Amino acid sequence: MSIRLLDHMTKPLLPRSEPEWLSNVSDFDELPIMDLLQDSLFYPACGRDGDPVRYLGGFVHSFVYADYSVPIEEITSSLFSPEFGLKGYRILFCKDVSNSIIPRGWHPSKEVIKGMRLARVQACAPLQYGLWAVLERLDGFGLEHGPNRMSFLFIGGEGVSAYQALYKERGLAPIVLAIIQCGIAFGNAYTDFANPEEGLAAAVLEDIHQRPQFLLHGGWYGSYEHSCWPDYSYKVARWRAAQGELGLWWRPH
């Protein structure tokens, strides 16, 4: 997981208490999917980007990443790599949970399958694998560095399908949705997640009672003065980078 260095390091939201399930979880436990999804951050078309962890770790303790272009071997090697791993943390455990992420009877929508085929997306299936890792802060690093524990669920899958299977099928929504540099040209996505009229927005915003509270939006090139989705209109924070910026937006209603 690579961490890009941005100009401002201040976190805009106060840290919250570590969830009890995360404090007590161990390698012997089954994936606590409902607990893990509560108050999580969902990041489709994520690559191996660690910026959401840098800015929202502590406010968020559970991160759900989805990207069908990143093989499970790359995620595993990044987690354990001194170059790409998260500084100040060790892997408490890491295991394959591919059989635990899809609700029984769930199938991807026809629109997703059609879109992937038209775009000639090279993926075996909308959801290919699930890898769950829990990281624990090392001795010598204090609370100012980050929370004691963080959970990461990596999904090898298409973003809309992952959202529908993980959240909508279970009547949940993440507290933060990240849409970062995931265009249809170089982002290897068949649909533009930033477009409020296309597939991801329709899936996320359909139920007014199950919507993320915050939208993390931006990219590495150009200026992002406004939220990509009009429903998220209140700017909470903004981080400038040498080649772009990120903004955290709140939905006030």
> For 200-249, what is each residue's pLDDT tens digit?
998 999 888 899 999 999 887 666 778 999 999 999 988 875 567 889 99
Question: Is 0.75 surpassed by the pTM of this model?
Answer: yes
Tell me, yes or no, whether 137 lies in a domain: yes
Tell me, yes or no, whether 154 lies in a domain: yes
Domain containing 184 equals: 37-250
Strands (E), the chain: 41-44, 62-66, 89-96, 127-137, 149-157, 176-180, 214-219, 234-241, 244-250
Tell me, yes or no, whether 90 lies in a domain: yes
The count of domains in the chain is 1
Tell me, yes or no, whether 133 lies in a domain: yes
Tell me, yes or no, whether 202 lies in a domain: yes
Tell me, yes or no, whether 7 lies in a domain: no
Select the more confidently predicted residue: 86 or 84: 86
Tell me, yes or no, whether 21 lies in a domain: no
Tell me, yes or no, whether 219 lies in a domain: yes
Select the more confidently predicted residue: 236 or 85: 236
| Cα atoms in the Cβ-side hemisphere of radius 13 Å centred on 88 | 16
CATH number for the domain including 149?
3.40.50
The band of 6, judged by pLDDT with boundaries at 50, 70 and 90, is very low
The band of 76, judged by pLDDT with boundaries at 50, 70 and 90, is confident
- Kindly report, residue by residue over 11-36, the tens digit of the pLDDT: 678 899 999 999 999 999 999 999 99
